[in-house]
Amino acid sequence: MKDYSDYCLLKHNTFGMDVKARRFVEYDSEDELRMLIPTLRGDVLHIGGGSNLLFRGDYDGTVLHSGIKGISVEDEDEESILVRVGAGEVWDDFVEWAVAKGYGGVENLSLIPGEIGASAVQNIGAYGVEAKDVIVLVEAVELQSGQKRCFGTAECDYAYRQSIFKNQFKGKYAVTHVTYRLSKQPSLKLDYGNIRTMLEDKENITIADVRKAIIDIRNAKLPDPKVQGNAGSFFMNPIVCREKFLALQKDYPQMPFYDTDNGVKIPAGWMIEQCGWKGKSLGRAGVHDKQALVLVNLGGATSDEIIRLCDTICKDVFNKFGIDIHPEVNVI
Ligand code: EPU
C-alpha cells in the first residue's frame, strides 16, 4: 500500500493540472482497502486513470486509487468465457489480452484510456459497443462500512455513460473487480462510422483487424494526453426527444444522429463545430482541431480557463440549437 501526504496529482490527471491531494492512498487488495477505511477522514475521491477528471485546485481530502491487478478466467464453455479483472488494471491492457487470445466483445473499445474500475462506473463506450454489453458482475466495497457487495449487470442501472455508481451510489462504493463475458465466436460490430470502409480490402476480418482499425481512427482524431493535456470527450452527446430532433432536422438536414431507446442522440462535437469552435481557443484552453468534443490544455491552462471555455461553448450550442449539453468530465 502507498500512503502519501501532500501528494502531487500531475501524473494522475490527463488534463495536466498541477494540483495536490492532502492524502493519496493506493491499495493493492480488497483487504488493504478494508483496513484503510477506518482511517479515512473528510472528503474521499476514488480515481482511476484520471482521464475523465478536471481538478479545480488542490484536493483537501483523500484520493484513493486501486492497485488491484490480475486477469483470471473464471469459467468457460464452447461459446464464451468469463474473465475477472482487477479494478486497477489498465483497460486497454485487458483489451489487448482479450484480442490476443481471440476472445471478442471488447475490441471496439480499444485504446479507451483509463482503468477497469472506471469501465464499470462510467459504462465506457465507443464504436457501437458499451462496457455494459460485456459486464456480468461488478464487485465493490462500500466505503462507509467496508462491506462487500456484488452487483449483477441489471443492478448497475446502465445507460449511456451512466450507472448506479455515478448516480444513487456516487462516491459510496469502490469497485474492486469486474467480470466480463467474452465470446469465443466473436460477431464483429463494423457499422459505426467508417470502420467497415477502413477494412473493406480485407478478407476474413478478425477482431485483431478491428482493434487495429479503431486504434488508427482514435490516433488520427484524438490528442495524446502526453503531448497535449485533455480528458477525451469533454461533453456527453445529448439525447433529445423525437419531436425536437425532427424540428432540428428540418433546419439542419445534414445533422448526424443515432436512434436510441430513449430518444435521438445528437453528436455534441458536430454542434460545437457548427458553432465555429473547432480548432479555436479561449486563453490557454482550446477545442481540438480534429474532434470538437475534446477540449485541450494548450499549455499551462488553469481549470478556470477550461471551465470558461466549456461554459461559453454550452451557451453557444444552446443559443444555436436549443439543446443543453453537459460535461462528461468530472469537475472536482
Ligand atoms: N463530428 C463533427 N465534428 C466534430 C466531431 C464529430 O462533425 O468535431 C461528427 C462526426 O463526423 C460524426 C459524429 O459527429 O458524424 C460523431 O463523431 P465521432 O464518431 O467522432 O463520435 P463522438 O460522438 O464525437 C463518441 C464518444 C467517443 C467515442 C466515439 C466513437 C461520447 C461522449 N464520446 O464521440 O468516446 O470514441 O463516439 O464511438 O459519447 C471518450 O469518451 O473520451 C470518447 C472519445
Looking up cell 467508417 gives 194
pLDDT at position 188 over 90:
yes
Give the pLDDT confidence score for residue 44 in this predicted structure: 97
CA distances (Å), 69 to each of 24, 27, 66, 85, 115, in order?
A: 19, 10, 9, 7, 10
pLDDT of 58 > 90? The answer is yes
Q: How far is ligand 1, taken at its centre, from the CA of residue 288, in Å? A: 12
pLDDT, one tens digit per residue, over 78-122 is: 999 999 999 999 999 999 999 999 999 999 999 999 999 999 999
Tell me the three cell numbers of residue 256. 448526424
CA of 11 to the centre of ligand 1 (A): 26
Residues serving a catalytic function are 161, 233, 328
User: Averaged over 284-313, what is the pLDDT?
Assistant: 97
Percent of the chain with pLDDT over 90: 97
Region 267-288: mean pLDDT is: 98
Closest residue CA from atom 25 of ligand 1: 126
Alpha helix stretches (DSSP H) within 175-241: 195-198, 207-221
What mean pLDDT comes out for the span 122-126?
97
- Going by alpha carbons, the residue nearest to atom 21 of ligand 1 is 267
Confidence of residue 194 (pLDDT cuts 50, 70, 90): confident
| pLDDT confidence tier of residue 250, bands split at 50, 70 and 90 | very high
Task: Work out the mean pLDDT of the chain and round it to a whole number.
Answer: 97
Q: Determine the average pLDDT of the residues in 286-293.
A: 98
CA-nearest residue, atom 12 of ligand 1 = 256
> How far is the centre of ligand 1, averaged over its atoms, from the C-alpha of 266 (Å)?
10
Residues with CB under 6 A from ligand 1: 126-127, 192-193, 222, 232-233, 236-237, 256, 267, 269-270, 273, 278, 291-293, 328
In this predicted structure, what is the pLDDT of residue 193? Answer: 84
**What are the angstrom distances between the C-alpha of 224 and each of 9, 64, 107, 126, 231?**
18, 25, 20, 17, 10
DSSP structural state of residue 131: G
Output the CA 267–ligand 1 centroid distance in Å. Answer: 6
235-248 mean pLDDT: 97
Residue 225 has pLDDT above 90, yes or no: yes
**pLDDT tens sequence across 151-185:** 999 999 999 999 999 999 999 999 999 999 999 99
> Cα–Cα–Cα angle for 310, 214, 289, nearest 5°?
35
β-strand partners of 54: 331
